[in-house]
């Protein structure tokens, strides 16, 4: 049987630094667990533009389609701000998502006990938080037509179109329900059915999928603005939240900050099953390229490491090993090790990017 294949696209800014720590863990699995991955590397984002004149070369796109999963670091930076919109680094990431048809974006918001004081909310509100936001990723207002800036009379008008088909809603709803069955069996669907026709359709289709296929899962509906309020009031009332592309973009960032640090959070973008039964998948940390600290050893690699843990769970059916990685991260944080973004008033032992990765490797060794 062929080894599982991973395409690494480290990207720009701190991407290569945090991905270097993931590569240590991939190597650890080969050395200590006899689990070998076939790893290839390529370029995406600004570094790809520098070499090829495009943020994602066609050959790289083909390699991504062929791999069992893609691990991505980060893209972008001020160096590329003046590029034409069509070749900005972020267009490479959007092309990956669109052409791989990665329609379900999984954004966990988990608060480690050692970091509960970092949240802007009271500790009892966020301690033990573990929710998952499933964001539809390939349709909605970011992709709908017509779109653009046009002239009407004597002024300009900007147009973006919110558009969803029944099938687009149904498939992301199924992803949420399937995920809920592996968690606490509860889904809250969020939209704006009170003012948007697309929201009415969203609510109707999610309810239909539930009633026909997943009536064992508890389903509730909530307007997205009320959902934002409830996330900051008592986030632990939720388990899985499913929502559209625009509201998912906003709500997942809000939920991310409940945990205290954007540098801690992974994500997965999943598509339809391939011939081997695994979904097409791209895993990436939620944080950006942070060009202001690139090359200084200050970046937190945990979000990228936890993204690899998500790959173990969702692409390779290695749930126990995913948990092993997550528990190693939790152990290191409990020991007080902190990268720069985690240094709060309580202090801690400051460590570099590489030292944090090495400490997680040591915790993995101890888990054997």
Strand 218-223 versus strand 186-191 pairing type: parallel
Q: Tell me which of 101, 130, 253, 358 is the catalytic residue.
A: 253
249 flagged as catalytic? yes
Measured from the Cβ of residue 147, the count of other Cβ atoms closer than 10 Å reads 13
Q: How far apart are CA 323 and CA 68, in angstroms?
A: 20
Instruction: Judge whether 113 counts as a catalytic residue.
Output: no
Choose, from 50, 101, 130, 225, the residue flagged as catalytic: 225
Q: In the chain, what is the greatest distance between 2 CA atoms, to the nearest angstrom?
A: 70
Contact assessment for residue 32 and residue 38, using Cβ atoms and an 8 Å cutoff: no
Beta-carbon-side half-sphere exposure of residue 45 (alpha carbons within 13 Å): 24
Q: Is 59 a catalytic residue?
A: no
Give residue 139's Cα distance to chain centre.
17
**DSSP bridge partners of 152:** 155
CA dist 147 and 102 (Å) reads 22
**Which residue carries 């032992």 as its tokens?**
349
Kindly give the pairing relationship between strand 266-273 and strand 279-285. antiparallel
Paired with 270 in beta bridges are: 104, 281
Tokens of 50: 């520098």
Catalytic residue among 142, 164, 214, 314: 142
- Cβ(338)–Cβ(298) under 8 Å? no
Give counts: helices (H), strands (E), the chain: 12, 14
Closest CA to 264 of 120, 122, 118, 125: 118
Q: Determine whether 192 is an active site residue.
A: yes
From the candidates 88, 192, 280, 331, give the one annotated as an active-site residue: 192
Among the listed residues 252, 329, 345, the one whose alpha carbon sits nearest the alpha carbon of residue 337: 329
Catalytic residue among 249, 283, 314, 331: 249
Which strand (E) or helix (H) includes residue 18? helix 15-32
Do 56 and 20 form a contact (C-beta atoms < 8 A)? Answer: no
Query: Is 235 exposed, middle or buried (CB count within 10 Å of its CB: 0-12, 13-18, 19+)?
Result: buried
- Is 317 part of the annotated catalytic residue set? no
Measured CA to CA, the distance from residue 30 to residue 27 in angstroms comes to: 5
**Active-site amino acid positions:** 142, 192, 225, 249, 253
């Amino acid at each position: 049987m062929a080894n599982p294949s991973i395409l690494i696209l480290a990207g720009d800014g701190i991407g290569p630094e945090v991905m270097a720590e993931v590569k240590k863990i991939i190597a650890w699995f080969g050395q200590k667990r006899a689990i070998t991955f076939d790893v290839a590397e390529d370029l995406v984002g600004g570094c790809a533009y520098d070499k090829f004149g495009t943020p994602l070369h066609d050959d790289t796109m083909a390699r991504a389609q062929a791999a069992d999963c893609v691990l991505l670091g980060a893209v972008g930076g001020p160096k590329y701000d003046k590029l034409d919109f069509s070749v900005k680094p972020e267009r490479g990431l959007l092309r990956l998502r669109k052409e791989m048809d990665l329609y379900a974006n999984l954004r966990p918001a988990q608060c480690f006990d050692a970091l509960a004081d970092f949240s802007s909310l009271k500790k009892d509100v966020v301690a033990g938080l573990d929710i998952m936001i499933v964001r539809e990723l390939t349709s909605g207002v970011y992709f709908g037509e017509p779109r653009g800036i046009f002239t009407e009379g004597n002024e300009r008008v900007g147009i973006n179109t919110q558009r969803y088909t029944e099938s687009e809603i149904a498939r992301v709803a199924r992803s949420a329900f399937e995920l809920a069955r592996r968690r606490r069996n509860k889904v809250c669907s969020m939209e704006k059915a009170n003012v948007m026709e697309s929201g009415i359709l969203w609510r109707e289709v999610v309810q239909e999928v539930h009633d026909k296929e997943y009536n064992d899962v508890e389903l509730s509906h909530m307007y997205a603005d009320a959902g934002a309020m409830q996330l900051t009031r008592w986030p632990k009332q939720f388990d899985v939240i499913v929502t559209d592309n625009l509201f998912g973009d906003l709500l997942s960032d809000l939920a991310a900050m409940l945990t205290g640090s954007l540098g801690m959070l992974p994500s997965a973008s999943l598509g339809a099953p391939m011939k081997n039964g695994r979904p097409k998948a791209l895993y990436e940390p939620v944080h950006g390229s942070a060009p202001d600290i690139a090359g200084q050893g200050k970046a937190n690699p945990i979000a990228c490491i936890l993204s690899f843990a998500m790959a173990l769970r969702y692409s390779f059916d290695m749930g126990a090993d995913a948990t092993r990685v997550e528990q190693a991260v939790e152990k290191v944080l409990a020991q007080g090790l902190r990268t720069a973004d985690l240094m709060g008033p309580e202090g801690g032992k400051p460590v570099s990017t590489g030292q944090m990765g090495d400490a997680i490797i040591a915790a993995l060794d101890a888990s054997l």
